């Protein structure tokens, strides 16, 4: 398969042996490091098939937070060059963002998010968006129309046309998705369940965004997996 058919993304992904990664991967039923299916937790608010449906969309991406949204490679670029640029970017000095987390509903889906705004996270996402854009192929007309159909503000349309993704810079919101969009009648129960499970597994420990993952999706039917991961070098 030609590399231009694959999609790549730069995500924050917690260390594979961390409580955070294990929690999110179990909720989704998928480990993006290994590509393995995982059993769902025992204490679900619904039956397992319903839970599988509720988590179907985020399962494709693995448990992560988007810093550079999925893109196809520009014709003049290749995977080796992208991996080299990624390997050069991560060891540079980046402030290590840390924040107290919580599970929250965002637009009908649940996610782990910062309790308070974190400027260092926004700065890291801005750098990823800008510095890796030279590797991104322009979106197709069909992709653009699908995005526009979701209902975007004028600044978001401008972001889409310039950066290939509407939710960047002023519209960036750090989140680690746990479910797809939930039916209104299930939202309170699922949020309560995930909040309790997250507190039991991860406690009040702040999340340190101290590593990046370069992810790859081989084709539209596949799931994203970690192609390589690098720790960030902290500093001011």
**197: which DSSP letter?**
H
Q: Please give the structure tokens belonging to residue 56.
A: 């179907």
Can you give the pLDDT at residue 91? 85
Angstrom distance (rounded) from CA 22 to CA 32:
11
Q: What is the mean pLDDT of residues 32-36?
A: 97
Say if domain 3-231 classifies as CATH 3.30.590.10: no
pLDDT higher than threshold 60 for residue 1: no
pLDDT digits (tens, 9 = 90+) for 78-115: 999 999 999 999 888 778 888 999 999 998 999 999 99
pLDDT digits (tens, 9 = 90+) for 118-164: 999 999 999 999 999 999 999 999 999 999 998 899 999 999 999 99
E strand segments, the chain: 7-12, 65-71, 97-99, 101-106, 109-114, 176-177, 207-209, 211-217, 225-231
Nearest to 178 by CA among 116, 101, 232, 119: 101
Pair 211, 13: CB distance under 8 Å: yes
Nearest to 45 by CA among 194, 198, 233, 230: 194
**102: which DSSP letter?**
E
The dihedral sign for the CA sequence 198, 199, 203, 205: positive
Total H helices, total E strands in the chain: 8, 9
Beta bridge partners of 176: 65, 112
Residue ranges of the domains in the chain?
Answer: 3-231
Can you give the pLDDT at residue 4? 63
Beta bridge partners of 207: 99
Beta bridge partners of 93: 233
């Amino acid at each position: 398969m030609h590399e231009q058919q694959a999609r790549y993304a730069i995500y924050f992904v917690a260390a594979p042996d961390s409580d955070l990664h294990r929690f999110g991967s179990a909720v989704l039923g998928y480990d993006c490091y290994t590509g393995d299916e995982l059993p769902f937790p025992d204490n679900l608010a619904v039956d397992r098939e319903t839970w599988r449906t509720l988590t179907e969309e985020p399962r494709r991406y693995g448990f992560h937070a988007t810093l550079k949204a999925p893109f196809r490679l520009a014709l003049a670029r290749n995977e080796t060059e992208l991996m080299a640029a990624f390997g050069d970017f991560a060891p540079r000095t980046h402030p290590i963002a840390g924040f107290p987390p919580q599970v929250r509903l965002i637009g009908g889906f649940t996610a782990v998010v910062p309790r308070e705004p974190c400027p260092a996270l926004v700065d890291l996402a801005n750098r990823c968006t800008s510095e890796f854009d030279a590797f991104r192929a322009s979106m197709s007309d069909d992709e653009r129309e699908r995005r526009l159909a979701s209902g975007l503000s004028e600044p978001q349309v401008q972001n889409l046309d310039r950066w290939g993704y509407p939710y960047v810079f002023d519209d960036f919101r750090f989140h680690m998705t746990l479910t797809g969009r939930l039916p209104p009648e299930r939202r309170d129960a699922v949020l309560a369940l995930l909040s309790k499970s997250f507190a039991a597994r991860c406690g009040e420990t702040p999340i340190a965004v101290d590593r990046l993952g370069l992810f790859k999706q081989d084709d539209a039917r596949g799931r994203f997996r970690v192609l390589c991961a690098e720790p960030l070098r902290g500093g001011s």
